[in-house]
Amino acid sequence: MAISSDSLGFGYVAAEKGLGIALLACIVGNSSANLVRVPIKSKVPVLPLWLVTHEGTRKLPGVKALAHYIRTQAQHKAADFGCSN
């Protein structure tokens, strides 16, 4: 049986339940005691992180504050997104 998904959440849960492996950022994989890092020899892709808001709501104070908070936290924890073996 093979399972394939382009959903990060599904891959995380499937790997955590022992159904296979998933390519995860260290900040995600390190959050689970059920996951074990598998060393790989090939280069792992570096993908951009996007923060998307709806144009009709992005100027609302609450949405602006949340977007600013997420952006700040992502920048502060940028090193946690990469891995060092």
Q: List the pLDDT tens digit at each of the 85 positions of the chain.
A: 677 888 888 989 999 999 988 888 888 888 899 999 888 888 877 777 788 999 999 999 999 999 999 988 888 877 766 665 4
Distance CA 79, CA 83 (A): 8
What's the pLDDT at 84?
Answer: 55
Domain locations in the chain? 8-81
Distance CA 34, CA 63 (A): 34
